[in-house]
Amino acid sequence: MRIEDYALIGDMQSAALVGRNGAIDWLCLPRFDSPACFAALLGDKQNGQWWLGPADNGRAAATRRHYKGESLVLESEWDTPDGTVRVTDFMPARQANPDLVRIVECVSGTVEMATEIRIRFDYGRIVPWVRRTDGLLQAVGGPDSAWLHSPVPLQGGDYAHKARFRVSAGERLAFVFTWHPSHESRPVEIDPFEQLAETEALWAEWVEQCTYQGPWREAVVRSLITLKALTYEPTGGIVAAPTTSLPEDLGGVRNWDYRFCWLRDATMTLEALIGGGYLGEARAWRAWLLRAIAGRAQDLQIMYSVSGERRLTELELDWLPGYEDSRPVRIGNGAVDQLQLDVYGEVMNALYLSRVSGMEPDDRAWTIQRELIEYVERHWDEPDEGLWEVRGPRRHFTHSKVMCWVALDRAVKQVENFGRTGPVEHWKEVRDQIHAEICDKGFDQTRQTFTQSYGSHELDAALLLIPIVGFLPPDDPRVIGTVEAIQRELMVDGFVLRYPVASDNDVDGLPGGEGAFLACSFWLAEALSMIGRKDEAVELFEHLLSLRNDVGLLAEEYDPRYGRMVGNFPQAFSHVPLIHTARALS
């Protein structure tokens, strides 16, 4: 299936992808970055899959599907010659162990159904030992164990378990899949129907807190729900996506693990949550951030695990063929060791925004920020790998320098607006020095645009953030010239590219092309609005909204060459700027 054929369910600690055809092709347990027990997304059903649907329709896509109200409870319906059947998929709020529930309900007539489950641990590598205990299936492989409660008898064979059964109008049958550590005793069974009611109530109560009432409320609420689903509730960390290695270029090598928490997402994520009225989640995110970055400033990483672990070693899983033969499949992320100076600005801006929103002061946070500023003072003039985590040579990326300016600017504002102590006059001098250098070395006077790096000819969509972060006012001719240059030179088929990807541009050090990062097009819509071209901004924004799949989700990129989504899915870095742009245009 295509990436956009999937929907997301989750319990705020992990998540599953459910296809239109009724197959769960991806699920990592017990948390987002754990090994997958269903990994067909990156291979085939032999790598782990749970299919459930009408028996004789050849695993055809559901006739329709939707989330039940403003929730993360998915309902898929099939119309068959003999009747209509509905499958409800959800993951209830975690109790002792993670559960996945699938409820089959016959809406009308009598429908022949079938299910086939292949449990695989360690990303499809381990075929577990399976036995029956008191009518339940137990699968064990190394540290992992899974129990399946099935209301119908399952027949084993070919390292899978299958069943055919009938449901008649009004009849409901519930399947429950539960993971737990293999050394622990049998998990306590849940009541699936009771958990369904509680899950619906939980989401209804959460959505009631949303303060956005603009014209795009449905899209904003669904994006906020997606961000909530990508939150690791025990710590407050938010993963970039629940998947790894969904390709940016179909059949190519641009396949990365996004099941981690990027610091640069801090500012936009915090602002999106705060703007939506979710101060509780914003506080939890700030607390995660402070714990994760605690230590020496020179040891700051660009990303961490959901619990703040720092070692995210990148490995290749050679037994998985990859999504549509996109190899290699990677876990971990080697970019963790890169120097990306922009993250210091992101962290400083995030913590400043937390104070602007009314959050209580935190003396420990200010101590950490003082150390970060000292580091920026010493290193802002060095080349780095930049926002896009290039694997080519380090450069003096203009956006990185702008975010160093942001770091100093927010430190100054903390002193001026919130009474913090620090050498504010010295910080102002360094801030002004950075500003002057950027305007001198990062601006092309001939073309009247900022460029990707000092002395380069290429543009970069990240330059659209210059007015958004306050480096220059929106009516500055240099801002207008940059926005218009990016619109003219980086737009392809109505989408904004991150930067030119061509054989004569070795900026990212990788072969092949890529789709258009959706965040870049959202940035353009917001920038167009800021320079007074609101009609164009609204037109672009609504075009981007039309790309969402049938349940309102976006991947990292959209590839106009194939007319489909690419990259990890669903992607926080797409849904966050959607929320920002909707608020800006409202």
User: Other CB atoms closer than 10 Å to residue 574's CB: what's the count?
Assistant: 30
Report the alpha-carbon distance of residue 189 to residue 147 in Å, rounded: 10
334: left (phi over 0), alpha (psi -120 to 50) or beta: alpha
Contact predicate 300/345, CB 8 Å: no
User: Other CB atoms closer than 10 Å to residue 264's CB: what's the count?
Assistant: 23
* Domain definitions of the chain by residue range: 3-205, 209-585
55: left (phi over 0), alpha (psi -120 to 50) or beta: alpha
3-state secondary structure of 480: helix
Contact predicate 518/529, CB 8 Å: no
H-run or E-run covering 425: helix 424-441
Q: In the chain, what are the helix, strand and coil shares in percent, each to the nearest 5? A: 35, 25, 40
Q: Is the dihedral of CA 314, 320, 326, 327 positive or negative?
A: positive
User: Other CB atoms closer than 10 Å to residue 503's CB: what's the count?
Assistant: 6
- Comparing CA positions, the residue from 182, 131, 188, 183 lying closest to residue 154 is 131
Report the alpha-carbon distance of residue 193 to residue 174 in Å, rounded: 8
Report the alpha-carbon distance of residue 519 to residue 575 in Å, rounded: 8
The number of C-alpha atoms within 13 Å of 327 and in the hemisphere containing its C-beta is: 8
What integer pLDDT is reported at residue 506 of this predicted model?
59
pTM of the model: 0.95
- Comparing CA positions, the residue from 517, 536, 531 lying closest to residue 578 is 517
Report the alpha-carbon distance of residue 112 to residue 80 in Å, rounded: 9
- 3-205 and 209-585: identical CATH topology: no
3-state secondary structure of 260: coil
The fold for domain 3-205 equals Beta-galactosidase; Chain A, domain 5 (2.70.98)
Phi/psi of residue 445, each to 5°? -65, -35
What integer pLDDT is reported at residue 428 of this predicted model?
98
Query: If you write DSSP's letter for every residue of 444-473 in order, what string do you get?
Result: ETTTTEE-SBTT-----GGGGHHHHTTSS-
Q: Domain 209-585, CATH 1.20.1250.20 — does that match?
A: no
Strand 516-517 to strand 557-559: parallel, antiparallel, or no bridges (unpaired)? antiparallel
Query: If you write DSSP's letter for every residue of 136-186 in order, what string do you get?
Result: EEEEEETTEEEEEE-SS--EEETTEEEEEEEEETT-EEEEEEEEEETTSPP
One-letter identity of residue 22: G
Report the alpha-carbon distance of residue 396 to residue 525 in Å, rounded: 27
pLDDT along the chain (586 residues), means of 10: 97 98 98 98 97 94 97 98 98 95 98 98 96 91 97 94 97 98 93 98 96 95 96 94 96 94 84 89 89 84 93 96 96 91 92 90 90 95 91 91 98 96 97 98 96 95 97 98 96 91 59 84 97 97 98 96 95 96 95
What integer pLDDT is reported at residue 504 of this predicted model?
52
